[in-house]
Amino acid sequence: MNEPLIAALDRALKGDGRVLSGLGIEERVVSLPEWDDRIAVDGAGAVTYTSRRPTGDSGGDPIGVFRDRMEKKELMALIRAMRQIAAAPPPVARSEAYELRILLSAVAEGHIFEISEPANGEALEPLRSVLDPLQNAIGKAIDHPVRSLTVAIELPDGVAWSGGTPVVVHLRNAGEQGAWVANPLTLPNVADRDRAELIYRKPMVFTPGIAPAPEPLNRAPLLPRMKTVDEPRYLWVPTGGDVPVPMQAEIKIGDAKELAFRAALFMNEGDEIVAGQPRIRGTVFSADVKVPIK
């Protein structure tokens, strides 16, 4: 048992302002070597959620920084649950290298508690008293973006059988602050590095009582429509902004009569600050767009 931390959390539960002023509780979703998202709550109840990748690669979901605030009773319940876990930590479950993990931590009066578990239901069950309130806090914070990035795509009304397919990638920021975003036109487009892709497949056919057969995913690099020498490395996406980026992709039609398209931007390399200005980094997916084949 971490007795100094437990004592500090007890003082926080009694309203000790000195302890609360530096208190922090954080959850990180870690896919090595870095974290994908993190939520932090301080002793005043301020919630900060930072996402670098939407859960389950959801199309149309934002990444970025989001903020909200917990009510005092919610904060006290969270501290109480954190105290119980710190006083009797569950055994750490075995995990494989590069397995998705949940890292839960707390600090109070400089004393630290950390526990890391693989992201599966059985291993995380003993931590639910803290993880569930944090997930609820994420659900509320997502409605209050500080700076965010979503992606949408425009395609022609019908896709031709041959030649490059024109695609307009829209970078959108619904937050209160502008931010730099890596320019999709300058990404290296190398496997396992930053890249822009057009992901497509035949739409699934739904028949009552029959599970639809999954269609294989196809991927094509999203490339500039023409070569330029002075393309900027970053694009500024202002508050409420919509920055269109004209691109194209060479796709394989096959026997499809219709295809569902989704853009994927992988922009993880580099810092989150550009000369003092914020930058949104991470992976983001557009919602699917269905287009008939000409």
| Residue 72 CA, distance from chain mean position | 27
Same domain, 163 and 286: yes
Same domain, 59 and 130: yes
Question: What domain count does the chain have?
Answer: 2
Q: What is the pLDDT along the chain (294 residues), one digit of tens a residue?
A: 689 999 999 999 999 999 999 999 999 998 867 788 999 999 999 999 999 988 767 788 999 999 999 999 999 999 999 999 999 999 887 766 667 899 999 999 999 999 999 988 888 999 999 999 999 999 999 999 999 999 999 998 877 656 688 999 999 999 999 999 999 999 999 988 999 999 998 876 666 766 666 677 899 999 998 877 789 999 999 999 999 999 999 988 877 788 899 999 999 999 999 999 999 999 999 999 998 887
Maximum distance among all Cα pairs of the chain, rounded to whole angstroms: 70
Domain boundary among 112, 141, 170: 141
Domain boundary among 141, 159, 184: 141
Same domain, 173 and 285: yes
pLDDT for position 2: 81
Domain extent, residue 25, equals: 3-141
pTM > 0.85: yes or no: yes
Same domain, 208 and 114: no
Rg (CA), the chain: 22
Same domain, 120 and 171: no
Same domain, 217 and 129: no
Asked whether 278 and 272 are in contact (CB, 8 A), the reply is yes
Domain harbouring 83, CATH code:
3.30.1560
Same domain, 74 and 188: no
Same domain, 127 and 209: no
Neighbours of 221 (CB within 10 A): 15
Residue from 241, 222, 5 nearest 112 by CA: 5
Same domain, 155 and 224: yes
Same domain, 181 and 81: no
Q: To which residue do tokens 């024109």 refer?
A: 166
What angle separates helix 128-141 from helix 72-87, to the nearest 10 degrees? 150
Asked whether 38 and 29 are in contact (CB, 8 A), the reply is yes
Same domain, 157 and 286: yes
Same domain, 235 and 279: yes
Domain harbouring 185, CATH code:
2.60.40
Q: Are strands 101-108 and 111-118 parallel, antiparallel or unpaired?
A: antiparallel
Domain boundary among 95, 123, 141: 141
